[in-house]
Amino acid sequence: MLSRLFAFLFKRQTRHHAAAEQRDFEALNHLAPVKGASAAIEIPPPVQSGNRPDEATNRSVICREAVLNREQRVAGYEFMLRKGMRDRVQAQSRRIYHVYNEVVIRNLIQFSIHTLLGHRQAFITVIDSFLANPLIDELPGQGIVLTVLPMDDARDALDPVLLVNRINELKRRGFAFALEECFEGAHFTLLAPHISYLIIKTEQHNPTELIQTAKRLVRPSGGITLIARDLQSFDDFELCSRLGFALFQGPFVTSREDWTGNQAGPQTLHVCDLLNQLRREVEIADLAKIIKQDAVLSYRLLRYINSAASGLRQPVTSIERALMLMGRQQMYRWLTLLLFGSAQLSPHAAAVQESALARGRLMELVGARAFTAAECDSLFVTGLFSMLDLVLQMPLPAALKPLNLPEAISAALLNNQGPYAPFLDLALACETLDPDRIEAAAERCGVEVSEVNTRHFEAMAWVQSLQV
């Protein structure tokens, strides 16, 4: 009943402000261009099951930022349109934010967000009145956290009673709710009893303010989870962790320091040696002898080859047999993944490894039309190794030196040159959320932005299937 009432109210509001919505949508189109847009753009209708996504959805690049827990493992993602767009849209009208919310959520529905989550959560920022949009009902509910923002523009605002009733209805379906930088006032008073998360933008507060805010908001009995956003350094993470924050976002995950003088450990060098042996095409029997000298490596190899995904009828107990079944190409990929697991020096190595896997997989998928299967493997390795310095905590040239990589991979990683460089730049652009860089890199790679979006979600789903 409430869903039908909200749908009616939303449609009435849309008709009432049609002209203003057209102007607002054109403004949003300037921020997230719609492919083939004409001057007569209308507000896109809510998505219905089975409908094809509109051009705005196809053209937009959905970006994600990892949300880490105290153990610095990925607990979820915040999904948004490109860097800074949410803040720019927030400064405009309520109606244009409706359009922004529609484009984000249409993408998440189109790419079946539930397949990307597993045990994780998806954080999506919406304005309060957007909860009336029937699109919300297309989301899976469980695992979805809606950050509800108030808008200064009071037009089209929902009645507070209807808003609270709608929130309670969605909570019964598994949704959770958050507030961002809202710790007092009418909006906080209204929604505080119904929220599970409070988001603090740490860059807007000095350490004293953070301490005072945490003391005021952390409840001994629990019930509210504090999220620290925009953390710049690991020191910031440690401070917020001590203050009672439980979830963390920001560039601190991939921040680099001066690691001059750090050296790779024995296990890392051992894996590097195996990779070099593979490239020199040594005999399988010789590879097996090397692996047998490492009990842990032997165990991992047999566990991998006997996993359910391999579909073998009989378990493999021979190292030589395992290597023959894998083949050199698959063995090389397995070892590159193992290289990340061999050095857990980085305090957030698990999150870095997940990002590196997504980067490599995205490059591999986007490059499938332009390269052979073997070259696509090299694209994957390029993406994966582009973050090797973060895991090993060594300068990238030093981390790559023991690997004796092919020239095409080294040129892309160290000099941004060669055939793989545009694809690495595209993967980096998707992470930095720079719209101009994304479009320019996609053009150099010979793909449409819509395909980048599709491959990005496919890469995320693939990483999730690995249960990193």
- Round the average pLDDT of the chain to a whole number and report it: 76
Domain coordinates in residue numbering, the chain: 20-195, 343-466
Average pLDDT (32-58) is: 38
Residue 6 pLDDT > 50:
no
Q: For residue 36, is pLDDT > 70? A: no
Cβ pair 414, 395 in contact under 8 A: no
3-state secondary structure of 248: strand
| Predicted confidence band of residue 319 (pLDDT cuts 50, 70, 90) | confident
Q: Does residue 48 register a pLDDT over 70?
A: no
- Percent of the chain residues topping a pLDDT of 70: 71
In tens, the pLDDT along 149-207 reads 876 555 556 678 888 999 999 999 999 999 998 888 888 888 889 999 999 998 888 88
| CATH tag for 20-195 (out of 3.40.140, 3.90.320, 3.20.20, 3.90.1200) | 3.20.20
Q: What is the pLDDT of residues 111-164, one digit of tens each?
A: 777 766 777 899 999 988 889 889 999 998 888 999 998 765 555 566 788 889
pLDDT confidence of residue 94? 67
pLDDT on residue 336: 76
Tokens of 246: 């439980």
Lowest mean pLDDT among 93-107, 204-218, 248-262, 384-398: 248-262
Q: How far is CA 256 from CA 63, 260, 262, in A?
A: 22, 11, 13
d(CA 330, CA 381): 12
Q: DSSP letters along 128-178, please?
A: GGGGGSGGGGGS--TTEEEEEEP-S--TTPPPHHHHHHHHHHHHHTT-EEE
pLDDT, tens digit, 9 for 90 and up, residues 282-297: 888 888 887 877 776 7
Residue with tokens 């990779």: 275
